[in-house]
Chain A
């Protein structure tokens, strides 16, 4: 009895290690240009666990068949996360000037950093699509087409681009410490890019000069920095507990 059990346990551990080593590399978007060939496809990278038979034809079919759906599910998952975070009531932190901080952009940063560029951006787009369809998922219970007519629409447009950039940075800094990489990606994608698109839009929509619009938006930066820190911590924690879930670089 015992030898068998320990044999299994060892096998399980081995296959976990195996997974870590081979990684879900082919999950990343860049590998999507060419279908994975026999060589760069390790049997144990099946997303449902190391189950795949060695037959290449089956593999290819399986990859195509599962992957599209799995991507869709992942994209939907992060879109839902952004929506769920919108329900977290805004907190006003005194030493940050009492400006209300919402959790929603945390979701945007996470989507980019965790999913990688394309899926991250798609997750944000799917979320915005739901808002446009009339679901009150934007923080404060806002939704419908009206929100896309307000002066802050530039920030909404900036979100998917920010997620794209964040995912791209995350993907191209695989060697970097994950905490640092996540922080940089979230800061550049989630703050720099988003504000770079959002502020000019405020200026145009509200007829303000750029500096004034920037000044008005700057009050939210401290809160966003807080979210960058949170993103980095969450990504690092998940990377430890569930390495396969950090699709952008695993």
Chain B
């Protein structure tokens, strides 16, 4: 399944997902308290070390920084213009650390484990009649629908192209909406035919 998750069996992969999530939350809150380089630079080094400990593939994940570089550069420029360059550098450093650290958790945690780790958070909603199975079912449905939508659109575009010779048209939007919506109706029916989101183990 497509995901930012990186297959592996490193120390970080083996840590329980809940622990990793908790750690990242606490670390982010702590980091927001500090602006001194004496804290930020070691933190950055620690995060980079974490990535390095995953090996070559881990370091390749740092490409994330490149994607962010434009945004961060723009922020730095804005700070420079307003004459707070040093502040800008610390802030960007902090952002980079937080983003990299959080991403590290995503890279080393399977989606399923993450889902299981947060499942208990939905438990209190049960008193509103909200079944804790729903978030997981919702996630599965999204993963089912999203590729299907692309297929529907591709088919419509082919049919359109076959008859008009042109490729895209806004006129495809309506049939696309109607076809994919009708699919969701059918899936709702199929869900019901197999016992619905509540299950049959009552």
For A66, give the chain B residue with the smallest CB separation. Answer: B192
| Contact partner, B106, options A75, A140, A146, Cβ 8 Å | A146
- What are the residues of chain B within 8 A of A212 when measuring CB–CB? 78, 82
Number of A-B residue pairs, CB cutoff 8 Å, is 177
Q: A130-B139, A237-B177 are in contact. Are A208 and B150 (CB under 8 A)?
A: no
- Per-residue B-contact encoding for A63-101, CB less than 8 Å = 1, 0 else: 001101110111111011101100100000000000000
For B82, give the chain A residue with the smallest CB separation. Answer: A212
* Inter-subunit contact B111/A133 (CB<8 Å): yes
Q: A143-B106, A146-B103, A237-B173 are in contact. Are A84 and B184 (CB under 8 A)?
A: no
* Inter-subunit contact B79/A144 (CB<8 Å): no
Q: Which of B36-44, B51-59, B67-75, B159-167 contacts A (4 or more CB under 8 A)?
A: B67-75
Query: How distant is the Cα of A133 from the Cα of B196 in the complex, in angstroms?
Result: 24
- What are the residues of chain B within 8 A of A180 when measuring CB–CB? none
* Inter-subunit contact B115/A206 (CB<8 Å): no
B120 smallest CB distance to A (angstroms)? 15
* Inter-subunit contact A145/B184 (CB<8 Å): no
- What are the residues of chain A within 8 A of B102 when measuring CB–CB? 144-146, 148-149
Q: A145-B103, A205-B95 are in contact. Are A76 and B74 (CB under 8 A)?
A: no
* Inter-subunit contact B184/A74 (CB<8 Å): yes
* Inter-subunit contact B87/A207 (CB<8 Å): yes
Interface status of A200 (Cβ within 8 A of chain B): no
* Inter-subunit contact B78/A73 (CB<8 Å): no
* Inter-subunit contact A216/B78 (CB<8 Å): yes
Interface status of A174 (Cβ within 8 A of chain B): no
Chain A 196-250 interface residues, beta-carbon cutoff 8 Å to B:
205-209, 212, 216, 233-234, 237-238, 241-242, 245
| Contact partner, B177, options A127, A135, A242, Cβ 8 Å | A242
Interface status of B46 (Cβ within 8 A of chain A): no
For B184, give the chain A residue with the smallest CB separation. Answer: A77
* Inter-subunit contact B99/A87 (CB<8 Å): no
Q: A136-B3, A207-B87 are in contact. Are A149 and B192 (CB under 8 A)?
A: no
Chain A interface size, under 10 / 10 to 19 / 20 to 34 / 35 or more: 35 or more
B87 smallest CB distance to A (angstroms)? 6
A98 smallest CB distance to B (angstroms)? 14
- What are the residues of chain B within 8 A of A29 when measuring CB–CB? none
- What are the residues of chain A within 8 A of B82 when measuring CB–CB? 208-209, 212
Q: A69-B188, A143-B3, A207-B91 are in contact. Are A130 and B79 (CB under 8 A)?
A: no
* Inter-subunit contact B177/A150 (CB<8 Å): no
Interface SS of chain B: helix, strand, loop or mixed?
helix
Interface SS of chain A: helix, strand, loop or mixed?
helix
Query: How distant is the Cα of A152 from the Cα of B74 in the complex, in angstroms?
Result: 13
For A152, give the chain B residue with the smallest CB separation. Answer: B71
Q: A136-B3, A237-B174 are in contact. Are A146 and B100 (CB under 8 A)?
A: yes
- Per-residue A-contact encoding for B78-122, CB less than 8 Å = 1, 0 else: 110010100110010001001111110111010100110000000
Query: How distant is the Cα of A170 from the Cα of B95 in the complex, in angstroms?
Result: 37
Can you report 18 residue pairs joining A to B where beta carbons are below 8 Å apart? A76-B138, A79-B138, A84-B149, A126-B139, A130-B139, A133-B114, A133-B115, A134-B4, A134-B106, A135-B2, A137-B146, A144-B103, A150-B99, A233-B173, A237-B173, A237-B174, A242-B178, A245-B177
* Further 12 A-B residue pairs, CB within 8 A, beyond A129-B139, A206-B95: A72-B138, A76-B141, A77-B184, A84-B146, A126-B138, A129-B138, A132-B114, A133-B111, A134-B114, A136-B4, A145-B106, A216-B74
